[in-house]
Structure 1
Amino acid sequence: MSEKTQLIPGNTLITKTPEEGRALAVKMARLIIKITQPDAKARERMRPTYANDAAMLIAIGQTVATEFATIAQANNYWK
């Protein structure tokens, strides 16, 4: 893992709104992929494969949903 990569941008899960929380979840999911496959050229080569595979797209959505659930709970569901 790169020492420069911050897995939780801003080092906080607290956001002002659910929309900001969702954006943070997407960013965190993208960081997971970047750390798992740090070679940008390899990620670019693989993009057409997962872009056309429904199961892989669903898996990406599930990853974002899991991140969002964690963020929502940290924000007391914005109550």
Structure 2
Amino acid sequence: MSDPWLPSLITETPQAGFELAIKLSRMGVKMTQPSDEIRKKLRVIYEDDADSLIAASQVIAINYQTVAAANNCWR
């Protein structure tokens, strides 16, 4: 595995938590398909597909739930 890139799930604000959720989602794709070239080729397929974009949003939402739980929902 590569160098650590995720020191903590703790964030200062809900917006920072959402941004972290997006990063978690993107890193999941990057680790699943490490080739930049192939990811760029695949992006053309899904960037105009509503179902693919909804699925990506669902992954981000799940990651956001994880970050929210780690932050005790920022209470």
Moved over 6 A (4+): none
Is there any run of 5+ residues in structure 2 with no aligned partner, and where?
none
Matched, 1:59 2:66: no
How many Å apart are 1:5 and its aligned residue? 5.2
In structure 1, distance between residues paired with 2:3 and 2:35: 14
Letter of the aligned partner of 1:36 in structure 2? T
How many Å apart are 1:47 and its aligned residue? 0.6
How many Å apart are 1:58 and its aligned residue? 0.5
Q: Percent identity?
A: 40
The CA deviation string for residues 19-57 of structure 1, in whole angstroms up to 9 with x for no partner, is 110000000000000011111100000111110111110
Is there any run of 5+ residues in structure 1 with no aligned partner, and where?
none
How many Å apart are 1:14 and its aligned residue? 0.6
Choose the corresponding residue for 1:9, options 2, 6, 11.
Answer: 6
TM-score, L = length of structure 1: 0.89
Matched, 1:42 2:52: no
Partner of 1:76: 72
